[in-house]
Chain A
């Protein structure tokens, strides 16, 4: 219940949930374009907008406990992100690294930083210019999910790709 409440307080998470729901209905893994999603009734996002990125591409990846390795599912998301970012080059990008609460504050600042760096390096390996990318660690200070169990911790161990600069 706390988890639902948390989700509904966070617009980014609502967007993500919507995107997942749609992907589920439309028996295909990944929408090819925002227009596809438009047909499904949720693609109001203008292609190339920040909303398009968040809703249709997915702005975040998740990590295993105490790990900064990019998981296979996260690699898929990041490859999608890189393709989009290489198409819409007007954006500067800040990657936020986060940790769950099951670690001490200072260590988690370091762990969040390592996750952000790993995410950045993956995007660079997919052709995104390093000069567009900055990182910041929030450690465990900015949880999106606030319950005290695994279902929340796994959502909080994340790196979020945020767009700044032009557009949106």
Chain B
């Protein structure tokens, strides 16, 4: 467990100077506007990095960029120039003929003190210039993280947006027959590597969510018999009950500053209301007081508003999405489409709310603006739910059951790039971490 949890020891981002390329105009010709509706993936060439570990690292970089849907890595068999010195200027013409717009060269070596040194250079082929160059040092256990950090750097240099590859996902690992499912908390890298289990499967566990700023998750567990919300320190394994409420607590999420957990509390009459608990003072605040189901609360990134699911409107629409102030003021419905809405999650960028919608016998994952306008369905299926945002607000992950059991899937905001996330067993309730420090 230690390897994924220890902070990456690293002297990061030492810029690599331009060595043999003549100084060229400073503007980059290489850019990809991810805000345009229809983004053509950018052809990018990524030859094996030099050094013993090099090919492994460049393979991970390549896979990250490809899965983003924004890059089209070119088959290495098509390469004309064989890169032998990753620090030297490439023969740009050789890369133009295979239509590469970007080229990434790099090397990975071991330092005398045992650390790994990884460096990359990003070349703008049609601009005939180096666009970026950095080197990183990491301890041996963090090889994959180095690759993800390089992929994030390339993503950011070209799109102008923060990447999301150096992140993890906490989820519920599910195994066994459907009517006797074993559910365990698990954590892995966003690409499915480095899975570690955080619970033993004896009690049902559900809906884990990351703290925005600590190595901590909040989740719901049946371990005491009565289902309750807990905190779990990922590094130490220390667990703690959240609050001392009489009934079931569920659907927890952290506030954007990490100081509060907002959740549902079951009332004695069978209805569920929303409460927030301050983790330092232990004081609790009631946000809703209705004879309805109020659940799945999620804060706006500035912490001033809360989006949630409620069936207070009654009628055939049943559960719908509502927004209220973080003090419970002015609750108002924002979903008015044809269907049943639930699991709203506010984008980390603040601009959109992701949701699950049931309509026409299908379950859909979609997004809407925070006033409920501009609804777009990104993915439809027989049974799928529970979106979580990548920290850059460009990609969602959710779980889909196509028969048998649930698996994790990611989809970007265009809805065109859907990718399965490999897991050994069935998996549900993914929650994306912030970018790692």
Q: Which of A53-106 contact B (CB under 8 A)?
A: 66, 68, 101-106
**A6 touching B264, Cβ below 8 Å:** no
Q: Which of A105-140 contact B (CB under 8 A)?
A: 105-107, 109-111, 113-118, 121, 135-139
What residue of chain A has the Cβ atom nearest to residue B178's Cβ? A146
Q: From B111-119, B269-277, B324-332, give the one contacting chain A.
A: B269-277
Given A104-B386, A137-B248, also A110-B264 (CB < 8 A): yes
**B179 touching A142, Cβ below 8 Å:** yes
| Smallest CB separation, B205 vs chain A (Å) | 10
B309 within 8 A of A: yes
**A107 touching B309, Cβ below 8 Å:** yes
**A106 touches which of B204, B271, B296 (Cβ 8 Å):** B296
Q: Which of B74-98 contact A (CB under 8 A)?
A: none
A146 contacts across to B, CB distance below 8 A = 177-179
A144 contacts across to B, CB distance below 8 A = 179
Interface size on B, residues (CB 8 A): 42
**B270 touches which of A103, A118, A148 (Cβ 8 Å):** A118
**B358 touching A106, Cβ below 8 Å:** no
Complex A-B, nearest 3 residue pairs according to Cβ-Cβ distance, in ascending order: A117-B270, A146-B178, A114-B270
List 4 additional A-B contacts (Cβ < 8 Å) besides A105-B386, A105-B428: A107-B296, A110-B295, A113-B266, A121-B270
The total number of A-B Cβ pairs within 8 Å is 98
**A104 touches which of B179, B342, B403 (Cβ 8 Å):** B342
Bound Cα distance from A135 to B271, whole angstroms = 13
B376 within 8 A of A: no
Q: Which of B277-314 contact A (CB under 8 A)?
A: 293, 295-296, 309
Q: What is B's interface to A at a CB cutoff of 8 Å? A: 177-181, 183, 204, 206-207, 220, 225-227, 248, 250-251, 264, 266, 268-272, 293, 295-296, 309, 318-319, 340, 342-343, 356, 358, 382-383, 385-386, 401, 403, 428-429
**B272 touches which of A103, A110, A121 (Cβ 8 Å):** A110
B250 contacts across to A, CB distance below 8 A = 106, 109-110
Main secondary structure of the interface of A (DSSP, over half): mixed
A114 contacts across to B, CB distance below 8 A = 270-271, 293
**B206 touches which of A113, A136, A141, A145 (Cβ 8 Å):** A141
**B382 touching A110, Cβ below 8 Å:** no
Interface size on A, residues (CB 8 A): 34
Bound Cα distance from A4 to B268, whole angstroms = 37
A143 within 8 A of B: yes
Bound Cα distance from A143 to B386, whole angstroms = 19
| Smallest CB separation, B316 vs chain A (Å) | 10
**A109 touches which of B227, B269, B319, B383 (Cβ 8 Å):** B227
List 10 contacting pairs A-B, 8 Å CB cutoff, sorted by A: A68-B270, A102-B383, A104-B385, A107-B295, A107-B343, A110-B271, A135-B270, A137-B227, A137-B248, A137-B266
What residue of chain A has the Cβ atom nearest to residue B296's Cβ? A106
B293 contacts across to A, CB distance below 8 A = 107, 110-111, 114
Bound Cα distance from A68 to B179, whole angstroms = 22
**A105 touching B206, Cβ below 8 Å:** yes
Bound Cα distance from A110 to B295, whole angstroms = 8
B251 contacts across to A, CB distance below 8 A = 106, 109
Bound Cα distance from A48 to B402, whole angstroms = 44
**A102 touching B358, Cβ below 8 Å:** yes
**A105 touching B429, Cβ below 8 Å:** yes
Of the candidates B264, B270, B386, the one having the most CB atoms from chain A within 10 angstroms of its own CB is B270
B225 contacts across to A, CB distance below 8 A = 136
| Smallest CB separation, A161 vs chain B (Å) | 16
What residue of chain A has the Cβ atom nearest to residue B382's Cβ? A148
**B177 touching A9, Cβ below 8 Å:** yes
Bound Cα distance from A103 to B401, whole angstroms = 13
**A101 touching B383, Cβ below 8 Å:** yes
A40 within 8 A of B: no
Bound Cα distance from A139 to B266, whole angstroms = 13
| Smallest CB separation, A163 vs chain B (Å) | 16
Bound Cα distance from A105 to B166, whole angstroms = 28
Bound Cα distance from A116 to B247, whole angstroms = 13
A10 within 8 A of B: yes
